[in-house]
Amino acid sequence: MRISMVATPIWAMKTPPLTTAYLTAWLKQHGHDVFQLDWNIELHHNASVALKEYWDRTHLHQWQNAEQYRDEVAPRITLPTIDSYAERILAHDPQLVGISTYSIEATMHMARVLKSMNPKLTIVVGGQVCDPGFYGYKLAWCDDIDLVVHGEGEGPLLEIVETLEAGSQDFSHIKGLLIPRGPGQAEDTGLRPPIADINGFPWPDFEDLPMDYYTVSEDAPYEPSRAVSSLMARGCVRKCDFCLQAEIWQNFRYRDAQSIYDEMASYKERYGLTNFHFNDLLINGSVRQLDRLCTLLIDQPLDMPWGGNAIVSRTLKKPLLEKMRAAGCEFLGYGFESFSTPVLHAMGKKYDAGEVSRLLQDMHDVGMRFFSNLIIGHPAEGRREFAETIQFLIEHAHLFTEAPTSSLLIVQKNTPIWRAREHWGIEMNEGDALGWWLKDRHNTLAERKHRAQVMNFFYESLFDVGLKITDMDTEKDLTLGAGDVIPRTAQAN
Q: How far is the CB of 390 from ligand SF4 (least distance, A)?
A: 22
225 contacts 267 by C-beta, under 8 angstroms: no
Burial letters 197-235, b for 16+ CB under 10 A, else e:
ebeebbbbbbebbebebbbeeeeeebebbbbbbbbbbbb
Q: Nearest 5°: phi and psi at 187? A: -100, 130
Q: How far is the CB of 252 from ligand SF4 (least distance, A)?
A: 9
Q: How far is the CB of 481 from ligand SF4 (least distance, A)?
A: 28
Q: Which is nearer to ligand SF4, 35 or 134 (CB)?
A: 134
Q: Which is nearer to ligand SF4, 236 or 380 (CB)?
A: 236
Q: Which is nearer to ligand SF4, 244 or 368 (CB)?
A: 244
Q: Which is nearer to ligand SF4, 73 or 281 (CB)?
A: 281
Q: How far is the CB of 233 from ligand SF4 (least distance, A)?
A: 11
Q: Which is nearer to ligand SF4, 243 or 327 (CB)?
A: 243
Q: How far is the CB of 472 from ligand SF4 (least distance, A)?
A: 12
Question: What stretch of H or E contains 83?
Answer: helix 82-91
Q: How far is the CB of 311 from ligand SF4 (least distance, A)?
A: 5
Q: How far is the CB of 253 from ligand SF4 (least distance, A)?
A: 14
Q: Nearest 5°: phi and psi at 250? A: 70, -45
Q: Which is nearer to ligand SF4, 243 or 296 (CB)?
A: 243
Q: Which is nearer to ligand SF4, 107 or 284 (CB)?
A: 284
Q: Which is nearer to ligand SF4, 145 or 248 (CB)?
A: 248
Amino acid at 39: W
361 contacts 399 by C-beta, under 8 angstroms: yes
Q: How far is the CB of 335 from ligand SF4 (least distance, A)?
A: 5
CA distance 331 to 275: 11
Residue 252 Cα distances to 163, 210, 233, 246, 289, angstroms:
29, 32, 7, 9, 13
CA distance 149 to 130: 7
Site of interaction with ligand SF4 (CB under 6 A): 236, 238-240, 243, 245-246, 281, 311, 335
Q: How far is the CB of 258 from ligand SF4 (least distance, A)?
A: 25
The three state secondary structure string of 148-217 is: EECCCCHHHHHHHHHHHHCCCCCCCCCCCEEEECCCCCEEECCCCCCCCCHHHCCCCCCCCCCHHHCECC
Q: Which is nearer to ligand SF4, 211 or 240 (CB)?
A: 240
Q: Which is nearer to ligand SF4, 147 or 353 (CB)?
A: 353
Sheet holding 405-408, edge to edge: 227-230, 275-278, 306-310, 329-337, 369-376, 405-408
Neighbours of 272 (CB within 10 A): 10
Q: How far is the CB of 238 from ligand SF4 (least distance, A)?
A: 4
Number of continuous H segments (helices) and E segments (strands) in the chain = 20, 17
27 contacts 39 by C-beta, under 8 angstroms: no
412 contacts 242 by C-beta, under 8 angstroms: yes
